[in-house]
Amino acid sequence: MEVLDNGLQNLFPGEEKETEVIAKFHGDITQIARDLQAEVEILSQEYAIITIDKDKIPRLYFYPQIEHLELPKNLYIASAFNLASSCIPPVQDRETYNLSGAGVIVAIIDSGIDYLHPDFRNEDGSTRILYMWDQTGKGTPPSGFTAGAEYTQEQINEALQSPNPLEMVNFTDENGHGTAVAGIAAGNGRGSNGVNSGVATEASLIVVKVGMKGFMAFARTTELMRAVKYV
């Protein structure tokens, strides 16, 4: 056990005592939380995120309910192909296919979105976004989650009608990647008079700004898993 503990110290060189671990499990794992003074966040019938003291991670292997453990991995930005290389324009021929994304919800799990951008608003100026969750922000988290700030379509529309929208709904996209991805997936082209539209121009949106609790940083796989559960 001493060798394993030393190895864990190398994996976690920072000063933080607790870390998150992704667990594949079966049965009831609530006893683990009580035994090890850990926080167990159930994502599905088979997967959970366990927030635990680093030194106690080896003890998780002694529980028969635990099938597999994995440390969170960092997520990084990747480039997206444009519509032409994906052969999207022919599919957008309304006379042939009549496809627009109407009735579909597109989920954007990324760096956020510029919800003020006209490409994500209807003709009357209202938002096409149903929900936004900023995992890095402070506010009211979504039901079933313990961190971040959630904003509803009603709140976004109220903000859009105000002179200072960001004071009401403080949701931003610092690096622009999430906004670009959302534009490719579902931008309606209003910001460019229809020249640069996305794939599903009439789809609704759910946006999750992923990131570590309280930090402006790249998300880890645990935040991604929470985002997928939320969506």
DSSP annotation of 166 reads H
Domains by residue range for the chain, with CATH: 2-70 (3.30.70.2980), 84-230 (3.40.50.200)
pLDDT for the residue numbered 212? 67
**Contact, 199 vs 184, CB < 8 A?**
yes
Please give the sequence-ordered ranges of beta strands (E in DSSP) within the chain, or none if there are none.
18-25, 39-42, 47-53, 66-70, 105-110, 129-134, 149-152, 204-209
Q: What is the pLDDT of residues 69-115, one digit of tens each?
A: 999 988 766 554 567 777 888 888 888 888 999 999 999 999 999 99
Q: Is 176 helix (H, G, I), strand (E, B) or coil?
A: coil
pTM across the whole model: 0.76
d(CA 7, CA 168): 47
Segment 196-221 shows an average pLDDT of 83
Closest CA to 109 of 40, 164, 185: 185
Give the span between the Cα atoms of 3 and 30, in whole angstroms.
28
Q: Which two tokens stand for residue 187?
A: 């931008």
Question: What would the pLDDT profile of 110-153 be if each residue is shown by its tens digit?
Answer: 999 999 999 999 999 999 999 999 999 999 999 999 999 999 99
Name residues whose C-beta falls within 8 Å of residue 231's C-beta, 6 or more positions apart in sequence: 107, 109, 206, 208
Are 83 and 199 within 8 A, CB to CB?
yes
Question: Position 63: which residue type?
Answer: Y
pLDDT at residue 81 in the model? 55
Please give the pLDDT value at position 90: 86
